[in-house]
Structures are given as C-alpha cells and as structure tokens.
C-alpha cells in the first residue's frame, strides 16, 4: 500500500521527511519494517505489512496501543469539547494537563487517560512529549488539534491487513525468530549521542552495545538500516565512523529538528552530519 502518513502524533526527531526523501521507495520493496526505536513510528505505519515497534518510553507505547480502541476518537473529541469550549487557551490546557497528571502519578498512562495525552501532545509546545516525576510538563503550544491524524492511523491499524505489535522495552527485546530475513527490514533510529536534551540516558556505552548488536544481525543474515550522525553539533562520533567501514553509508542533507532552533544552547545544528548506514546496497 502506498501510504505517506506522519505517525499518529508529532515527535521531536521523527523521520517523516527522511522517510519521504530517502526511505520510501526502498522500504516499499519490503514486507514488514520493524522499528525497535519506535518514537512516532513513521516507517512502521508506512510499511507494506506492518511490523514490531519497541520503545523504552511507556507513554509512547501507550499512545500507539490506544489506536486499537474503537472509542478513542470519541473520547478525544469529547474531552476537547469539554476543556476547550471557549477556544484553545493556555488556562484550559493547564487544566487538562493537571487532570491528566492526577491520574498519571497513580497509574501512569493507561487506557483510561491516554486520550487526554493525545490531546496534550498535539497542543503542547513543539508537540514535545516530556515527563517529570509529577507528570507531563510541556507548556502550551497554541496548535490546532488534528483529529484526522488519529483517525487515519486507527484505520491503518484496524482496517488494513497490516500486522502491528507494540512492546514497551529495549530494542534487544525484538524477537528475531519472528523476522523474515528475506522480506523484512529492521530500522534503527536510536537517540543521538550528543542530543543531551532528548530521550535522556543514551550514552557512549549504549551506542557501542547497539553497534555490536547490529554486527550480530549482519552475521545472522538480517537486513538493517541505521540512522545516526557522524558529527552532531560539532561532536565527532569516531566510533560510529570506524564501525561503519564495513557497511554502506549514505550522507544525507537534512536539518530537521525545529525544537533545537528554539533552544539557545543547542543552536549549533549546522555542524551535524547525518548518515544512513545499511548492511545491503541502498
Ligand atoms: C530518535 S527517536 C525515534 C524517532 C522515530 N524514528 C520517529 O520517526 O518518530 C528514538 C526513540 O528511541 C527510544 N529509546 C531510547 N532508548 C531505547 C532503547 N534502549 N530501546 C528502545 N527504544 C529506546 C526513545 O524513547 C525514542 O522514542
């Protein structure tokens, strides 16, 4: 199926533009696209036959899983009408955020409050998804809510014959015995080492471990695609450069993180060299 959708929610670092420009034609030659660093899952949703999506972030996985709930859109619309009956303003947003957080601190994001999170993410500043221990903490962003975006992804999940599986955990939990070596691709989009402000906790040892996992996949006949950076805001990723020697590297020209442009200390996005590394001819 030749789709071109953005993922069910906005996500800082999403790969929609890269998908359209670099991946689409190649990914559509494959059956399933598995995404072990799922985020908004752009490549997964646009695949021919679905795939497995894994993310460490429970909230992200809850948003994806919620799409199989037939009542989701009604709940999102009703909640929107209830909180924003006088239009979209900061005060109503903060009321919704505070009500969501009251349940979140007890249960986390679950099937009873995830519709509120869909709204918060759409209305938040730069559509960020960020939590502190008291809950969702992104300020108001004055955006329009795109109900159709949720609806479109629900129909991909429910009405198409694509198969989706969402797992909260780490990328190594991908069940390799479920992957068709000849027809599926595994797309890796890990946090970038120098991206201090996002998806906290991804450090050099995590990356080294991921690179040896990719070597393992390669030795065992799985096809992978890795997005990463050879240099990011002036920090050179020499380990990645050395490792990539045995694989195919494509340099891409895309500065896509609008958020970074708004944060003074990470202004220097120009010195980023973004690459796609594959273990097959790309
Ligand atoms: C760059 S984002 C992926 C963006 C995605 N490609 C998109 O189009 O929206 C990286 C994601 O990896 C997740 N993550 C971080 N460490 C992880 C790990 N060890 N295993 C699985 N997911 C992880 C983060 O929560 C984040 O959602």
Q: Residue 43's domain is classified under what CATH number?
A: 3.40.50.150
Report the separation in Å between the CA atom of 37 and the middle of ligand 1, taken as the mean of its atom positions: 4
Asked if residue 47 lies in contact with residue 30, where contact means CB atoms within 8 angstroms, the answer is yes
The CB of 37 under 6 Å from ligand 1? The reply is: yes
**169 and 252 part of one domain:** yes
pLDDT at 138: 97
Query: Has residue 240 got a pLDDT over 60?
Result: yes
**Of residues 177 and 258, more confidently modeled:** 177
Which of 122, 146, 170 represents a domain boundary (last residue)? Answer: 146
CB atoms within 10 A of CB 222: 19
Report the separation in Å between the CA atom of 90 and the middle of ligand 1, taken as the mean of its atom positions: 29
Asked if residue 91 lies in contact with residue 40, where contact means CB atoms within 8 angstroms, the answer is no
CA–CA distance, 149 with 161 (Å, rounded to integer): 19
Residue 80: what are its φ and ψ, rounded to 5°? -60, -45
Query: Has residue 268 got a pLDDT over 70?
Result: no
pLDDT at 77: 98
Query: Has residue 53 got a pLDDT over 50?
Result: yes
**270 and 158 part of one domain:** yes
SS3 66: helix
**CATH number of the domain that residue 102 is part of:** 1.10.1020.10
Which of 146, 164, 189 represents a domain boundary (last residue)? Answer: 146
SS3 209: helix
Q: Name the band, by pLDDT with cuts 50, 70 and 90, for residue 202.
A: confident
Section 74-98 average pLDDT: 97
The three-state (H, E, C) secondary structure of 162-199, written as one string: CEEEEEECCHHHCCHHHCCCCCCEEEECCCCCCCCCCC
Could you report the per-residue pLDDT of 142-190, keeping only the tens digit for each? 889 999 999 999 999 998 899 999 999 999 999 999 999 999 999 999 9
The residue whose C-alpha atom lies closest to atom 24 belonging to ligand 1 is: 199
CA–CA distance, 171 with 35 (Å, rounded to integer): 8
Q: Name the band, by pLDDT with cuts 50, 70 and 90, for residue 4.
A: confident
The CB of 9 under 6 Å from ligand 1? The reply is: no
**75 and 204 part of one domain:** no
Could you report the per-residue pLDDT of 29-40, keeping only the tens digit for each? 999 999 999 999
Ligand 1 mutation pick, 190, 206, 207, 226, max ligand atoms within 8 A of CB: 190
Residue owning tokens 């975006």: 149
Query: Has residue 215 got a pLDDT over 70?
Result: yes
pLDDT at 115: 98
Q: Which two tokens stand for residue 137?
A: 């903490």
Section 68-85 average pLDDT: 97
The CB of 18 under 6 Å from ligand 1? The reply is: no
**141 and 155 part of one domain:** no
Query: Has residue 261 got a pLDDT over 50?
Result: no
**156 and 123 part of one domain:** no
Q: Is residue 2 a part of any domain in this protein?
A: no
CA–CA distance, 281 with 223 (Å, rounded to integer): 10
Query: If you average pLDDT over every residue of the chain, what do you get?
Result: 91
The CB of 202 under 6 Å from ligand 1? The reply is: yes
Instruction: Single out the residue of 86, 154, 84 nearest to residue 116, CA to CA.
Output: 84
CB atoms within 10 A of CB 68: 12
**29 and 88 part of one domain:** no
Section 243-258 average pLDDT: 80
pLDDT at 232: 81
| H-assigned helices in the chain | 16-18, 24-27, 42-45, 58-65, 72-83, 90-107, 114-123, 147-159, 204-219, 238-243, 258-261
Query: Has residue 198 got a pLDDT over 90?
Result: no
| CB contact burial 195-209 (16+ within 10 A = b; e otherwise) | beebbeebeeeebee
CA–CA distance, 171 with 94 (Å, rounded to integer): 34
CA–CA distance, 118 with 131 (Å, rounded to integer): 14
Which of 82, 112, 146 represents a domain boundary (last residue)? Answer: 146
Query: Has residue 207 got a pLDDT over 80?
Result: yes
**118 and 156 part of one domain:** no
Q: Which two tokens stand for residue 206?
A: 């995590």
Report the separation in Å between the CA atom of 107 and the middle of ligand 1, taken as the mean of its atom positions: 23
Q: Name the band, by pLDDT with cuts 50, 70 and 90, for residue 72.
A: very high
């Amino acid at each position: 199926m030749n789709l071109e959708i953005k993922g069910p929610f906005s996500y800082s670092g999403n790969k929609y533009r890269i998908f359209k420009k670099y991946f689409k034609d190649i990914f559509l030659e494959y059956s399933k696209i598995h995404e072990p660093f799922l985020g908004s899952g752009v490549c997964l949703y646009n695949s021919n036959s679905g795939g497995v999506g894994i993310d460490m972030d429970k909230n992200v996985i809850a948003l994806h899983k919620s799409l199989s709930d037939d009542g989701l859109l009604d709940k999102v619309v009703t909640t929107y009408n209830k909180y924003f009956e006088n239009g979209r303003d900061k005060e109503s947003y903060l009321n919704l955020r505070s009500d969501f957080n009251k349940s979140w601190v007890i249960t986390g994001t679950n099937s009873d409050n995830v519709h509120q999170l869909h709204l918060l993410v759409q209305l938040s500043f730069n559509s960020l998804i960020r939590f502190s221990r008291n809950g969702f903490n992104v300020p108001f962003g004055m955006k329009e809510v795109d109900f159709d975006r949720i609806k479109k992804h629900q129909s991909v999940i429910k009405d198409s014959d694509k198969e989706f599986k969402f797992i909260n955990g780490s990328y190594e939990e991908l069940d390799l015995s479920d992957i068709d070596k000849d027809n599926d691709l595994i797309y890796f989009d890990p946090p970038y080492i120098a991206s201090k402000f996002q998806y906290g906790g991804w450090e050099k040892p995590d990356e080294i471990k991921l690179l040896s996992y990719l070597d393992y996949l390669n030795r065992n006949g799985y096809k992978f695609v890795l997005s990463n950076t050879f240099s990011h805001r002036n920090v050179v990723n020499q380990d990645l450069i050395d490792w990539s020697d045995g694989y195919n590297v494509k340099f891409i020209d895309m500065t896509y993180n609008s958020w970074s442009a708004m944060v003074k200390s990470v202004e220097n996005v120009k010195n980023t060299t973004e690459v796609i590394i594959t273990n097959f001819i790309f």
